[in-house]
Structure 1
Amino acid sequence: MKTDPKPQPAKFGSLLGVGPGEVPVYSSDYASADKAELPNRQAYHSYVDGLFMGYKWQCVEFARRWLYLSKGYVFDDVPMAYDIFRLHSVRVVADGTRLPLRSFRNGARRWPEPGCLLIWDEGGEFDITGHVAIVSEVFKDRIRCIEQNVENSVWPEGQTYSRELRVTVTQDGGYWIDCSYSDAQILGWVMQTADDAFAEPLVEVDPRLFNLELREVPDDGRADACWLDASNPPEAAYLEMMGGAKLVRDDGDRTKYFVMGETAKKELRRATNELHAMFMRATQYALQDDDLLRKFNLPPVLWPRIRQSWENRRNQMITGRFDFAVSEQGVKAYEYNCDSAACHMECGLVQGKWADHFGCTVGHDAGEDLFEDLVGAWQKVGVKGTLHIMRDRDPEEIYHARYMKAAIEAAGLSCKVIRGLSGLGWDDQGCVVDEDGVRIDTVWKTWAWETAIDQLRAECDAEAENLRLHKTIDRRATAPRLIDVLLRPDVMVYEPLWTLIPSNKAILPILAMLYPNHPYLLDTQFALTGDLARNGYVAKPIVGRCGHNICIYDHNNDLIGETVGQFDDRDQIYQQLFRLPVIDGLHVQVSTFSAAGTYAGAGVRVDRSPIITTLSDLPALRIVEDKELAGG
């Protein structure tokens, strides 16, 4: 017996149907999108009455558009669809007032109602993002919803809904919606109501659960043993740089580690995902405004290339690192290192090996998933041919490059490491090749983009004009320079050129403007304001590395911390002073790592001084149940 073939997806943007509320549902089959009609990321923005609804034609875009057109209110920006489940209010567009939202866990005794939001958790079919739909009809044995970005086929004639899901009502009146995908899970539904009967409780989190704790394992004579594998290239390079198997330089601290509760870890995971989305929006905003873009102090000749990189490679960022202060005072982000971020190996490999050697079984490793997430990020971008890793001769870059090489090769890609520039040459077509004559088409680099840009700044006007015209100069009489590789239009570089924008601290005042009083952000301005001066502030160069050229001033304008470096000639931003927590004399900063734009792991950096630098230690971080904390 033959079964009906699965309907073919409709072309991107095709009308699939119209349900209750008369709001159209469109196909989001991105593979069929017309590049002539949708030439860049901006073209995918969906607006109604000048209000940004989301990206065409995703699930969140439809949910927000349906609520606005049918109810007159919208929910706030969310990084992922599943984050809607934790919202507490919606905004009435006409007057800006707020109306309460309540979330009901799947199986709740208050049934969903037409017009409420049905929320799927992340995972399986809805990996990373989760999903949201609008409930259109409710029955005892089934529920109907309207949605985008699931099934992209046109609805059958006469049908007024996207999908129908089975329902089981338990003896106590609990309403259980069955997910049609075996690998996905429905969180529940979100309703605009003030009635909190059977709703998820709005529990205030005990702020003490965000405090980290310093602990110690017994030495048992293990501290002097080598617990890293010298036959493994990344570990061998790490051993050489550190002068042995250690995470910290003070031998008295070799058996110490930090613990963080599950609540704090979940908040950091949420913060990482949400902030990544916010930094991306701020990047888009900056690239649309020449006056703002000037504040990044980037050569104007590069602006078209940066914008083109953003439009073409928005989703090709491999990894980055957020730096946070985490304590009962809150979770605050200092910056996002999107370009040539470091410390991945310490997080994803070394701290786990430390715990194995010292028998630390408390909780679990905060970086245990980082390597696999990096592998997944490389698999998503689909590199073809040989990928070259370009690194300088700094000892830290050696093991960092080797660790990333292991992830790249685990992703099934061919990879070679280039040490400096001395082995590079030119082929007969004027393309850069490595010492074996292999053409360099794709690069992952430990060099910062700013290093190449400094080289460009030092070149003559003719060089800038050639770059503006995308003209490749045949320099076979001289050895290739860094800009001859990284700024060639036919070389694909990771991280993409657009990461110059979110990595530059000029993005921080833009974020503060776009998201005023956001709980994860610090007030940051291009000029020192009275409020910042009265409450204390940190002056940072817009481009800097390793914690160099930072000055910290307290509320009396007294200098309480300072570092020197090579970035003292750069423009500065001024950021609200939010001190790192001090634990046993150590200032503790938490770093989270993103892979393909989502949370992938965490680690800590500590220092006796209030400024974290490249010399700061990285003791192990373990995640424990909240009840295991002293304040739990």
Structure 2
Amino acid sequence: MDEIMPYRSTTIATVIANAIVIIQCLESARQAGDFYPTQEAMFASGIGNTTHVAYGEIMGYASTNVPAYSNENDTYVSYESHYLYGVYMGMKWQCVEYARRWLFIRKGCVFKSIVGAADIWTEVDSVQRVIDGKCFPLKKHPNGSPLPPKNESLLIYTRSGIDMLYGHVAMIVDILPDFIRVAEENYDFSYWSRNYSREIPYRMINGSYYVEDEYPVFGWMTVEDNNQAKPLDEATINILIKLNGSLFDLDLSIEMI
């Protein structure tokens, strides 16, 4: 219940408004001579209205306090920059924006500019703590690694066909015996039923671990911080707000997505 509380009021208001519109449409159709069962019509419409999330609306929260926003259509590019406490997060509401913002909120770190999500695997070898510039290495675990997926890692997808022109990145937020749970933006546009967007199976084959998703995966990347990277707290946020524009010295303002 706590996971849906932040957007409960918006959801309830939307559902009520939609119900009124549906009833009006059904009555108009009935007067015109077309009869549609009220219960079935409202149920079918309700499914559509509660699963597809409009652009910029919150789909869900992961890791306690990291909201994921809907891009509504995976082909849409807003070209709008998103900043948080004066730090550039990325382009609204792309997968890279979410990965960077998750790392920023949960570890106080960000990563450098890249063109597409797939480039994280080939071009990003560390994350940088915003408050003091300290860097922590990112360790690559190719799909087929002898080590299983690790929580709080970045799951990186390759470029593959028209659906994955720039690849994709998701955050691993939970590990189960046969599944990983991820949080992400610009993959699906439905309200989350839990504190993650979806579950992806993985399994061991001949001593190696493979994440088995619909699209090909490079692997996962873990932040090697030795527990030094911590979630943002009030003191850090206040410092960031005071610094504000000086944070662009981290060369984040030229990020494309």
TM-score range (shorter-chain normalised) is 0.5 to 0.7
Q: Say which of 113, 117, 136 aligns to 2:150.
A: 113
Q: Work out whether 1:54 is the aligned partner of 2:90.
A: yes
For residues 250-301 of structure 1, give each alpha carbon's deviation from its aligned partner in whole angstroms, at most 9, with x where no partner exists.
Answer: xxxxxxxxxxxxxxxxxxxxxxxxxxxxxxxxxxxxxxxxxxxxxxxxxxxx
- For the residue of structure 2 that corresponds to 1:81, the secondary structure is coil
Shift of 1:9: 2.2
- For the residue of structure 2 that corresponds to 1:18, the secondary structure is strand
Q: Say which of 33, 55, 59 aligns to 1:16.
A: 59
Q: In structure 1, give the amino acid aligned to 2:127.
A: V
Q: In structure 1, give the amino acid aligned to 2:211.
A: I
- Work out whether residues 104 and 110 of structure 2, in 8 Å CA contact, stay in contact via their aligned partners in 1: yes
Q: Work out whether 1:165 is the aligned partner of 2:200.
A: yes
Shift of 1:111: 1.9
- What TM-score, normalized by structure 1, do the two folds share? 0.27
In the TM superposition, 1:208-247 aligns within 5 A as none
Runs of 4+ residues deviating >2 angstroms: 4-9, 124-127
- Work out whether residues 139 and 223 of structure 2, in 8 Å CA contact, stay in contact via their aligned partners in 1: yes
- Match in the other structure for 1:546: none
- Work out whether residues 72 and 92 of structure 1, in 8 Å CA contact, stay in contact via their aligned partners in 2: yes
Q: CA RMSD in A?
A: 2.7
Q: Say which of 141, 159, 181 aligns to 1:144.
A: 181
| Alpha-carbon separation, structure 2, partners of 1:134 and 1:171 | 26
Residues 125 and 190 from structure 1, CA distance in 2 versus in 1: closer, same or farther, beyond 3 angstroms?
farther
- For the residue of structure 2 that corresponds to 1:168, the secondary structure is strand
- Work out whether residues 118 and 135 of structure 1, in 8 Å CA contact, stay in contact via their aligned partners in 2: yes
- For the residue of structure 2 that corresponds to 1:103, the secondary structure is strand
- Work out whether residues 102 and 194 of structure 1, in 8 Å CA contact, stay in contact via their aligned partners in 2: no
- Work out whether residues 120 and 126 of structure 1, in 8 Å CA contact, stay in contact via their aligned partners in 2: no
Q: Say which of 170, 173, 177 aligns to 1:133.
A: 170
Q: In structure 2, give the amino acid aligned to 1:26.
A: Y
| Alpha-carbon separation, structure 2, partners of 1:130 and 1:136 | 19
Q: Say which of 75, 88, 98 aligns to 2:125.
A: 88
- Match in the other structure for 1:104: 141
Q: Work out whether 1:185 is the aligned partner of 2:221.
A: no
Q: In structure 2, give the amino acid aligned to 1:109.
A: P
State percent identity of aligned pairs.
34
For residues 368-421 of structure 1, give each alpha carbon's deviation from its aligned partner in whole angstroms, at most 9, with x where no partner exists.
Answer: xxxxxxxxxxxxxxxxxxxxxxxxxxxxxxxxxxxxxxxxxxxxxxxxxxxxxx
For residues 119-164 of structure 1, give each alpha carbon's deviation from its aligned partner in whole angstroms, at most 9, with x where no partner exists.
Answer: 00011364321000000111231111000001101112xx111011
Residues 147 and 110 from structure 1, CA distance in 2 versus in 1: closer, same or farther, beyond 3 angstroms?
same
- Work out whether residues 73 and 186 of structure 2, in 8 Å CA contact, stay in contact via their aligned partners in 1: no
Residues 140 and 170 from structure 1, CA distance in 2 versus in 1: closer, same or farther, beyond 3 angstroms?
farther
Structure 2 residues not aligned, in runs of 5+: 1-43, 227-248
In the TM superposition, 1:449-460 aligns within 5 A as none
In the TM superposition, 1:312-323 aligns within 5 A as none
Q: In structure 1, give the amino acid aligned to 2:192.
A: W
Q: Say which of 65, 76, 94 aligns to 2:112.
A: 76
| Alpha-carbon separation, structure 1, partners of 2:139 and 2:162 | 26
Point out the structure with max Rg over C-alpha. 1
Q: Say which of 5, 24, 28 aligns to 2:71.
A: 28
In the TM superposition, 1:296-375 aligns within 5 A as none
Q: In structure 2, give the amino acid aligned to 1:124.
A: G
- Match in the other structure for 1:65: 101
Residues 130 and 14 from structure 1, CA distance in 2 versus in 1: closer, same or farther, beyond 3 angstroms?
same
Shift of 1:171: 3.8
| Alpha-carbon separation, structure 2, partners of 1:66 and 1:146 | 9
Structure 1 residues not aligned, in runs of 5+: 34-39, 196-512, 516-596, 598-632
| Alpha-carbon separation, structure 2, partners of 1:143 and 1:160 | 13
Shift of 1:194: 7.4
| Alpha-carbon separation, structure 2, partners of 1:21 and 1:85 | 27
| Alpha-carbon separation, structure 2, partners of 1:155 and 1:127 | 22
| Alpha-carbon separation, structure 1, partners of 2:92 and 2:146 | 35
- For the residue of structure 1 that corresponds to 2:97, the secondary structure is helix
Q: In structure 2, give the amino acid aligned to 1:91.
A: Q
Q: In structure 2, give the amino acid aligned to 1:137.
A: D
- What TM-score, normalized by structure 2, do the two folds share? 0.64
| Alpha-carbon separation, structure 1, partners of 2:250 and 2:99 | 22
Q: Say which of 171, 176, 200 aligns to 2:210.
A: 176
For residues 76-105 of structure 1, give each alpha carbon's deviation from its aligned partner in whole angstroms, at most 9, with x where no partner exists.
Answer: 111110111122111110101111111110
Residues 57 and 194 from structure 1, CA distance in 2 versus in 1: closer, same or farther, beyond 3 angstroms?
closer
- Work out whether residues 52 and 189 of structure 2, in 8 Å CA contact, stay in contact via their aligned partners in 1: yes
Q: Work out whether 1:45 is the aligned partner of 2:81.
A: yes
Residues 194 and 67 from structure 1, CA distance in 2 versus in 1: closer, same or farther, beyond 3 angstroms?
closer
| Alpha-carbon separation, structure 2, partners of 1:52 and 1:194 | 22
Residues 194 and 94 from structure 1, CA distance in 2 versus in 1: closer, same or farther, beyond 3 angstroms?
closer
